[in-house]
Amino acid sequence: MRLNVAALAATTVCCLAGIAFAQMATPAEQIRPVSPVAADDRQAVPVTPATRIFVLAEMRTMLAAAQGVAEAAGKHDFKAVAAAARTSGLKAFEGMPKQIMMELPEDFRGLGRQSHMSFDAIAQAADSGSDATVVSAKLGEALQFCVACHEAYRFTPKK
């Protein structure tokens, strides 16, 4: 996990909530630049179209959840924080079909599980009357799993 949690959280909250650029506190050197070299050394995970569609839909749900958490935290609406986080908690994904699970490598599934658990942790923090700073830090922790997995894996069509 290369990124500083607090900085990541601050950046996310600021970006997603649309708060002025001037408030962002992430030092530029902590953000990995996009390589101009067209090489993709991430591990290829061969998946069927059905699995790809299912997992990418899950991804978009998690992105929306992160957006909802950041926006609600900015408004100090902790009920809305918890509700947004739970859309991506473990429970929301326990019905994943077995064939889909079987196509994904074990480490990949582990990271997926951890990212869902980290959304549950956000919901719990929001439930227990916490403040926006705590929610922001928890969101930063959750986003580290997105970053880690996206850096490690990519999907390819299964032959």
Q: According to the binding rule CB under 6 A, does residue 59 interact with ligand HEC?
A: yes
Question: Least distance from C-beta 25 to ligand HEC, angstroms?
Answer: 21
Q: Shortest CA distance to 122 belongs to which of 141, 100, 107, 103?
A: 141
Residue of 111, 125, 135, 139 that binds ligand HEC (CB under 6 A): 111
Q: Shortest CA distance to 85 belongs to which of 13, 135, 131?
A: 135
Stretch that binds ligand HEC, among 14-22, 29-37, 54-62, 125-133 (CB under 6 A): 54-62
Q: According to the binding rule CB under 6 A, does residue 63 interact with ligand HEC?
A: yes
Residue of 2, 75, 150, 158 that binds ligand HEC (CB under 6 A): 150
Binding mask 3-42 for ligand HEC (x = CB under 6 A): ----------------------------------------
> 135 with 125: CB under 8 angstroms?
yes
Cβ neighbours of 89 (radius 10 Å): 20
Q: CA torsion 1→74→91→128, rounded to 10°?
A: 100
Residue of 77, 80, 96, 108 that binds ligand HEC (CB under 6 A): 108
Cβ neighbours of 113 (radius 10 Å): 13
**Count of residues that bind ligand HEC according to CB under 6 A:** 18
